[in-house]
């Protein structure tokens, strides 16, 4: 399997390290900075970073369209933090990020406010038998979700982990913790997509 990490800006190397730790020898992780690579990948990762910067570059390189096509063909997408903002259908009060509209959610950027710029939280995650310690950094939150979206975890009024079919999005940073359960879930989605 070949996994493509959108490597325009942000938490790229951390995702690569975690992927390499949990993959089999024959699997490959590639960095995507230009058009033409996404169609060769069986799964895509949109990392955390600055969603306005990443959005601008996704559009100017033509990678945005390729991601949309890959996702609608059923290829699994893991989107974390700024990535969650990018894959949303709608972004609250925002015009500088062009949403890719891969999942039926409305997100608010930096939703936890400046006083909670960064924090950790023990999340109860649907399908996990033990709590998951999540790292939040200027995190977005899901304020609304359509009926086909499965909410996996929430903090107060905001969902922070959600899945709709082949798209898994997280408001926190799974690449910054030793707990690999979300990466393992993503690999499972990739294996299942490959078999069908």
CA angle 159, 46, 147 (to 5 degrees): 35
Packing angle of the helix pair 63-72, 51-61 (nearest 10 deg): 90
Q: Read out DSSP for 10-59?
A: SSHHHHHHHHHHHS-TT-EEEEE-STTSGGG-SEEEE-SS-HHHHHHHHH
Give yes or no for residue 116 binding ligand GLN (CB under 6 A). Answer: no
At its nearest, how many Å lie between ligand GLN and the CB of residue 31? 18
173 included as an active-site residue: yes
Give yes or no for residue 164 binding ligand GLN (CB under 6 A). Answer: no
Give yes or no for residue 110 binding ligand GLN (CB under 6 A). Answer: yes
Identified catalytic residue from 15, 66, 81, 169: 81
Q: What is the greatest pairwise CA distance in the chain?
A: 46
Residue 48 half-sphere exposure toward CB, CA atoms < 13 A = 20
Give yes or no for residue 92 binding ligand GLN (CB under 6 A). Answer: no
Give yes or no for residue 22 binding ligand GLN (CB under 6 A). Answer: no
Give yes or no for residue 140 binding ligand GLN (CB under 6 A). Answer: yes
Contacting ligand GLN (CB under 6 A), which of 7, 44, 81, 153? Answer: 81
41 included as an active-site residue: no
Pairing of strands 88-91, 77-80: unpaired
14 included as an active-site residue: no
Give yes or no for residue 176 binding ligand GLN (CB under 6 A). Answer: no
Catalog residues that contact ligand GLN under the rule CB under 6 A. 48-51, 81-82, 85, 109-110, 137-138, 140
């Amino acid at each position: 399997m070949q996994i493509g990490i959108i490597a325009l800006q942000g938490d790229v190397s951390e995702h690569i390290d975690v992927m390499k730790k949990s993959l089999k020898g024959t699997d490959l992780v590639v960095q995507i900075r230009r058009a033409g690579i996404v169609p060769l990948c069986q799964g895509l990762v949109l990392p955390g970073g600055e969603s306005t910067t990443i959005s601008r570059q996704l559009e100017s390189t033509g990678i945005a369209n390729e991601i949309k096509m890959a996702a609608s063909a059923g290829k699994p997408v893991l989107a974390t933090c700024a990535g969650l903002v990018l894959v949303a259908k709608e972004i609250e009060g925002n015009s500088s990020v062009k949403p890719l509209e891969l999942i039926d959610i409305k997100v608010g950027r930096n939703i936890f406010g400046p006083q909670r710029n960064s924090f950790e939280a023990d999340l109860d995650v649907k399908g996990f038998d033990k709590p998951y310690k999540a790292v939040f950094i200027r995190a977005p939150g899901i304020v609304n979700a359509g009926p086909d979206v499965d909410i996996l975890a929430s903090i107060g009024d905001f969902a922070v982990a959600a899945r709709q079919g082949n798209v898994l999005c997280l408001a926190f940073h799974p690449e910054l913790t030793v707990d690999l359960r979300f990466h393992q879930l993503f690999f499972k989605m990739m294996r299942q997509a490959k078999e069908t």
